[in-house]
Amino acid sequence: MLTANNITIMRGSRRILDQVSVAVRAGEFLAIVGPNGAGKSTLLHCLSGALEPDEGSVQLNGRPLSSWPARDLSRRRAVLTQSPSLGFAFTALQLVLIGRSPHMGSNPGRTDLRAAAAAMQETGIAHLAERSYLTLSGGERQRVHLARVLAQLYAEEASERYLLLDEPTNNLDLGHQHLALSAARRMTEQGVGVIAILHDPNHAVAYADRIHVLHRGRTYADGAVPDVMSEGLMREVFEVTARLLRDPQRDRPYIVLWPGSRPASINDHPPERRHACSLP
């Protein structure tokens, strides 16, 4: 289990995160949703160990993240950050194999190649294996990075691992958005706990077991999808007038918006709250 207990992040005197607790179990898909500046990326950085919380603690299997040896940790959890920049001509396959760094010596072995092949098929980029990263489109690059973190977690048999995704659907077209989320969803079947920041609440509804709603640095709601998702939540957190309908076939809610769902008369957050989530 990967847990954050009452974590607080201060930036000056502002609280970017205020007493937030969140936990994900092995095999569970948790979506983190919330408006811009709610602290989603900051929370993910805390969960990945990139950011030390000012108060509270993050634990993996009951052990503080900071006391895990880096290599052990990197075999158990992988992180897809937002648009990593890269100006060097690696091939897609080389990049995906860099994801295997925690598992291999200086050269990839059979398992590493199997991991790369599986991850690249899963994300639909196997045909790009020998292409230079610099010649790929934004969406193709995003899928290469997704394949890299999938390869990092690849294991021959089910075991407890965690996958942290910060807006995995960035730059992806509709079909590839669902390809990416399906790939993450399939990981849960092998014991991987997934935490994904998702912008589209319908993605959260369709793929997540549980939703954690962040609003102005605080936990607004946390629970199973049908319990949390409501027209009231959409109004209060996202400030949109939405309708929640039920898909009779899957017995799941879905959210419908239309032009004018977010009237300009609704005030934005106070300005100082709005650019609050980046790494220090």
Partner 1 sequence: MHSTADFALITHRQAQKTAIATMIAALALVAICFVTIHAGAIHIPPGTATRLIAQQLGLAPVDDSMQALRTILIEIRLPRIALGVLTGAGLAVAGVTLQGLFRNPLADPGLVGVSTGAATAAAAFIVLGWPLFEYLSAPVLRHALPIAAFVGGLLTTIAIYAVATREGRTDVATLLLAGVAINAMAAACIGLLVFLSSENELRDLNFWMLGSLNGVTWDRLVFVGPLILAATIALARFARHLNALLLGEIEARHLGFDVERTKRWMITLVALDVGAIVAMTGAIGFVGLLVPHLVRLMMGADHRTLYPLSALLGACLVLLADLFARTIVVPAELPIGIITSFLGGPFFLWLLLRQKAQGAF
Residue 263: CB minimum distance to partner 1, A: 37
Please say which residue, 71 or 250, places its beta carbon nearer to partner 1: 71
Please say which residue, 144 or 242, places its beta carbon nearer to partner 1: 144
Query: Can you name the residues that pair with 33 across neighbouring β-strands?
Result: 213
| Exposure on the CB side of residue 116, measured as CA atoms within 13 A | 24
Of 37, 39, 42, 43, nearest to 21 by C-alpha is: 43
Residue 151: CB minimum distance to partner 1, A: 11
Q: Which two tokens stand for residue 112?
A: 């590493």
Please say which residue, 26 or 50, places its beta carbon nearer to partner 1: 50
Please say which residue, 73 or 257, places its beta carbon nearer to partner 1: 73
Residue 248: CB minimum distance to partner 1, A: 38
Residue 6: CB minimum distance to partner 1, A: 24
Of 149, 168, 195, nearest to 31 by C-alpha is: 195
Instruction: List contacts with partner 1 (CB under 8 A).
Output: 45, 48-50, 70-71, 73-75, 77-79, 81, 84-91, 93-94, 97-99, 101-102, 106-108, 110, 113-114, 116-117, 121, 126-127, 129-130, 132, 134, 152, 279-280
How many angstroms separate the CA atoms of 157 and 24, rounded? 20
Give the contacts of 20 (CB within 8 A, at least 6 positions apart).
4, 6, 7, 8, 39, 43, 56, 214, 217, 218, 219
CB 91 within 8 A of CB 131: yes
The CA–CA distances, whole Å, from 63 to 59, 60, 195 equal 5, 5, 19
Please say which residue, 127 or 246, places its beta carbon nearer to partner 1: 127
Residue 116: CB minimum distance to partner 1, A: 6
